[in-house]
Amino acid sequence: MPASSFDLTGKAALVTGGNTGIGQGIALALADAGAAVASVARRPSDDTVGRCLAKGVKAVSVQADLGSMEPIERILDEATHALGPIDILVNNAGIIRRADAVDFSEADWDAVMDVNLKSVFFLSQAVVRRWIAEARGGKIINTASMLSFQGGIRVPSYTASKSGVAGLTKLMANEWAKHGINANAIAPGYFATDNTQALQDDPVRSRDILGRIPAGRWGQPSDIGGAVVFLASAASDYVQGITLPVDGGWLAR
């Protein structure tokens, strides 16, 4: 397949949670492939934007809290005003709460589900309504998890939300493929990010996790980029509804 199949020059991508960690890795990989990038996060994405601009593409920071549906149309309006129509939506923003299932609170359940699942659907819905109205296709890439395949421990709302992301991705593909829209997901394994800091800092859990990863290391944000660029590009035009693990071999063990 020619390298041009992976070229995103002239495309505009909106990445939620793009200010740090995996989201920043995704934003930078898309910029490397030529896409303009809007990074959506609760805090300013100055570092991500600066690094994207240094690659010669347009970039903008959009500040919003995806724990509420209120900012969705504003997010799209600000990103479109800065970059032009959005071609690629990466639903990456996510939070996690840890407690034994027997003690887990309703507040922690709702907070995680609102960001990790509810916002994924309603932001996608808002983007797709524009794509259909404009008779143009697009690419949706959702961030799932190893816990889309496994149960995990002490993260009931996270497990439920990420299992929901995998199912919702299939639903999106089933309904929207006829409009020239591809909907797929990535499932990062154990990456060295803020969300896994508690695990990295726990010597027993960290040892057990590394002992199961054939690659023998935690993933780095830069490891996620190739899979996302593939799913964002013409190279994946006939790929629909998958959840692609990027896990150093965790699921193969």
> Is the distance from CB of 86 to CB of 127 less than 8 angstroms?
yes
**Residue 131 burial (CB count, 10 A):** 20
HSE of 184, CA atoms in CB hemisphere, 13 A: 21
Q: Where are the beta strands (DSSP E) in the chain?
A: 12-16, 36-41, 59-63, 88-91, 138-143, 181-188, 243-246
Let me know if 158 is a catalytic residue: yes
**Residue 4 burial (CB count, 10 A):** 10
Catalytic residue among 87, 157, 158, 159: 158
How far is the CA of 152 from the CAs of 42, 44, 160, in angstroms?
Answer: 27, 32, 10
Active site residues: 158
